[in-house]
Each structure stands twice: as structure tokens, then as C-alpha cells.
Amino acid sequence: MLRKKHLAILLSQIRPIPHPKFKWESYTLDAESAANIIYVAACVHDDIRCKKIIDLGCGSGILAIAASLFGAESVVGVDIDKEAIIVAVENAINLGAKVDFIVGDIGCVRGHFDTTLMNPPFGSWHKGADVNFLKKALEISNVVYSLHKHSPSVKEFLSRRIPKLGGVIDKIYGMEITIGRTYEFHRRRQYTVKADLYRIIRVNISSS
């Protein structure tokens, strides 16, 4: 089994998304944060090893690749950005990870997975984008790990919305993610952003 530090070192080799699209709120998750997410999912809750995993909005493929390296039975990564998928495929090959990458909107996803991993749009620029990801994740998987902006208003909103989508919030893990200079309006080389990782369990109720 990989140690978290070793996993982070491996993930630091991942090439970022070459041309992040502002309309999709794209950015590359840093290696340390990705390793922390996988460590929680794999070692605290046993939701990775020998499981069928999907990464919605996979970008550079960092979470999907990490899941494969940590012993997932199978991994699928989906992203609407073709350029991101091309880089994700290269990243997986370079790290020896087995991931099936698909170019497409998350609405195209069908089937069933044990666990969804995702770093969805925060919905800062397109209201409801994060909810669309949560809705799809709870349609196709038993357990969801989803990263969201840390704020009381977001937490209150998700606490109300997730049950209506057929899920129950099991745990919330506070994190600090590092975002590099991604867009023209970014002035600093990197930013530290507080975020929350939600572990959500699907329950058998009607979504709305």
C-alpha cells in the first residue's frame, strides 16, 4: 500500500490542464490535496481498494489516477474538455495507472459505480453547477466524495439540498487546497483556499 506522502510525490508529476476554461471553473487540484482525498476515501472509509470508481469532471486525471494507484478495481474519468482528457491520458500512462477516460458532459454517464470522486465547479460563476454534479453522482454511485468551497452559507445550502437529491452527509473534512495561477486575473503565483470534502452516502428516497 502506498503511503500518503509517496502518493503525493507521484501525483506531483502530473501535468496540469493546459488551457483551463473559465466557463467550467477549471483548475488543477494540487498533489497534496489529491493525496489527502484518496487517503481519506481509501484508508479511513475503505471506499477505493477493489472498488469501481468514477471521477466526474476529472480534469488532469489526478483523482482518477490516484484511485488506480491505490488499488481500485476499475476507474473511469469523465471531462467535457477534450484537451484536459488528452493530458489525463498522458498522465495515466506516465504513472502506470489504469484509467478509462471519456470526453463528454457528465450527463452522458450511465451505469453503476461504488464510489464517485469529484472536484466539481464551486458554482461561483455558474449557479447550480455543483448541484448538477451532486445529482449525477448520487444517481450512479453508493458513496460520493465531493470538494466544495468552505463557508457557512455553502454548508447550510448543501445540508438542505443533498437530502433532496437522495443523499445523506456522513462526514465533512476541512482542507486547504493550493491553486496555481490559472487565469489572467490571478495575480499571485499560488493561492490557498479553504475547502470542505464531503462524504455523502446514497439513500433510497426519491430525488427532486
| Contacts of residue 106, Cβ cutoff 8 Å, sequence gap at least 6 | 56, 57, 78, 80, 132, 133, 136
Query: Is the predicted pLDDT of residue 103 greater than 50, yes or no?
Result: yes
Is 104 a member of any domain?
yes
Is 57 a member of any domain?
yes
- Residue 128 — very low, low, confident or very high, per pLDDT cuts 50/70/90? low
**196/173 Cα distance (integer angstroms):** 6
Query: Is the predicted pLDDT of residue 58 greater than 80, yes or no?
Result: yes
Query: Is the predicted pLDDT of residue 20 greater than 90, yes or no?
Result: no
Is 181 a member of any domain?
yes
| Contacts of residue 64, Cβ cutoff 8 Å, sequence gap at least 6 | 53, 55, 58, 75, 76, 77, 88, 92, 97, 99, 101, 117
Supply the pLDDT for residue 169. Answer: 98
Is 207 a member of any domain?
no
Is 185 a member of any domain?
yes
Is 208 a member of any domain?
no
CATH of the domain at 164: 3.40.50.150
Supply the pLDDT for residue 21. Answer: 64
**187/167 Cα distance (integer angstroms):** 38
Give me the number of domains the chain comprises.
Answer: 1
Is 65 a member of any domain?
yes
Amino acid letter, 98:
K
Residue with cell string 458513496: 143
- Residue 7 — very low, low, confident or very high, per pLDDT cuts 50/70/90? very high
Instruction: Give which of 97, 28, 113 is closest to 65, Cα–Cα.
Output: 97
Query: Is the predicted pLDDT of residue 208 greater than 50, yes or no?
Result: no
Domain ranges, residue 70: 4-202
